[in-house]
A = this chain, B = another copy of it.
Amino acid sequence: MSELLVNTQNGHLSASQRIPAIARPFVSERAAKTLDLVEKFVEEECIPADEVYTRQIGETTAQRFASHPQIIEDLKVKARKLGLWNMFLPKNHFKEGAGFSNLEYGLMAEYLGKSRTASEATNCAAPDTGNMEVIAKYGSEQQKRRWLDPLLEGKIRSAFLMTEPQVASSDATNIEMTIKRDGDSYVLNGQKWWSSGIGDPRCEIYIVLGKTAPNHPDKYAQQSVILVPHDAPGITIHRMLSVFGYDDAPHGHGHVTFTNVRVPASNMVLGEGRGFEIIQGRLGPGRIHHAMRSIGAAEKALEWFLARLNDERKKPFGEMLHKHGIMLERVARSRIEIDAARLAVLNAAIKIDESNAKGALKEIAEVKVLVPAVNLTVIDRAIQAYGGGGVSQDTPLANMYAQGRTMRIVDGPDEVHLLQLGKNENKRGPAHKRRIDAQKKRGEELCREYGVGTNDKLYLNRKSGEGSRL
């Protein structure tokens, strides 16, 4: 067995053997086998390739966003041969996918999250995954043939344009991009940012959220989703946004303007005013994918942490780092936190599988807040163990931290989910109050039945002046 994949050596367990006991009934034999293949592919092929990928990207901004590293195409060939392709498309909705449940793909996504190249190599990279889901679920036949097929083949890439810089767009009703009908066309005007993936030279299709009816009295009926080819005149990518100094080239996060961008009316998805519905359905599984990749990142950080503890050259104060209790405590807390967070994600994935994203709102929101926090905590501990190496390019940790930090922001910042969760929980509040009051009352009745007095152990009932002066 290759030393690139040590898990099954020396008593180590393979990916399928490490599935938490509670999740096993939900995993088919085929999925378990695929999971082991994914792990092997990621550890043996993708992680070593990450370095090549990074070096195949240019130096200047213009070069970097024109890059198309050859190694990613070579990995894709290998992945397809292994049958590792489009695993993300859930079996209960899409015939085009590999036939796995959200839970099963979630388990695989953990391993994909350990490598920079693995998701794209298996055609499971965001935002294509969510975009493919949207077109597969809501697109016309024409739209599917034109855009979904090449996306499923990994021939082109896509972007999802929703967020706008000038408003609080975590609340989608604030969106200002206009989409106006003009004859057989729609005309778009406005700006977008954090348009992720738009930097890639192979990115050919933008899925754009805008308003067709900005004055509609129902503020959830104002939005529409429309497909915009990347080369439609009037689009300018002004700049790429950095994330803690990283440009994420060639993928990138664009700041884009649309000036009288015209597309055929047939590019509208599902129909005018259906935009909110579409983006709602899109976000659920995507959050699970992000969360499981984050779990994978956290595991990777913990593995690097453990590797550092066992680096024989590093002996502060004469002892290797794994002899220091402070470090072992952090390892243990990381293990505890990752394991609990993973179960939360898997439970949410099952909830989606059993109903749909709407039926799993609570579980998805919980995971959306919990997992990035755990991931960042674990990475930060690993960085600290590496010292200067931890913040630099010599480990993947600093980059993982930067990526992980955005997860507290994208698809709605923590606070939006916390308030929503809090409000939903609070709906149970009045009923709890009534029950507790009723239980107190019943308790008082029982006390009378049993002939016991006040409920106060510290009963005093001292009248004015009594006892006060000895």
Indicate whether A439 reaches chain B with its CB closer than 8 angstroms: yes
Q: Which of A76-84, A138-146, A270-278, A394-402 contacts B (4 or more CB under 8 A)?
A: A394-402
Indicate whether A433 reaches chain B with its CB closer than 8 angstroms: yes
CB of B391 within 8 A of CB of A405, answer yes
Q: For residue A420, which residue of chain B has the nearest CB?
A: B332
Indicate whether A150 reaches chain B with its CB closer than 8 angstroms: no
CB of A413 within 8 A of CB of B434, answer no
Indicate whether A393 reaches chain B with its CB closer than 8 angstroms: yes
CB of A22 within 8 A of CB of B343, answer yes
C-alpha gap A327/B365 in the complex (Å): 18
Which residues from 312 to 343 on chain A have a C-beta closer than 8 Å to any C-beta of chain B?
313-317, 322, 324-333, 335-337, 339-341, 343
CB of B409 within 8 A of CB of A387, answer yes
Checking B9, B49, B244 against A401 with a beta-carbon cut-off of 8 angstroms, the contacting residue is: B244
- CB contacts (< 8 Å) of A61 on chain B: these are 59, 457-460
In the assembled complex, the CB of A94 is this many whole angstroms from the nearest CB of chain B, namely 21
In the assembled complex, the CB of A385 is this many whole angstroms from the nearest CB of chain B, namely 9
- CB contacts (< 8 Å) of A165 on chain B: these are 388-389
In the assembled complex, the CB of A435 is this many whole angstroms from the nearest CB of chain B, namely 5
Q: For residue A303, which residue of chain B has the nearest CB?
A: B432
Main secondary structure of the interface of A (DSSP, over half): helix
In this complex, the interface size class of chain A, counting residues with CB under 8 Å from chain B, is 35 or more
CB of B199 within 8 A of CB of A66, answer no
Excluding A236-B463, A329-B415, 15 further A-B contacts by CB distance (< 8 Å) are: A3-B438, A4-B442, A12-B428, A21-B351, A48-B446, A55-B452, A65-B467, A168-B313, A193-B388, A244-B244, A244-B399, A310-B432, A335-B362, A337-B370, A391-B409
28 contacts between A and B (CB under 8 A): A2-B438, A48-B443, A52-B443, A52-B452, A59-B59, A168-B315, A168-B316, A170-B316, A200-B468, A202-B470, A234-B464, A239-B454, A241-B458, A243-B245, A244-B391, A244-B402, A302-B425, A303-B435, A304-B436, A306-B432, A307-B436, A330-B422, A332-B419, A335-B421, A336-B421, A384-B409, A388-B409, A390-B409
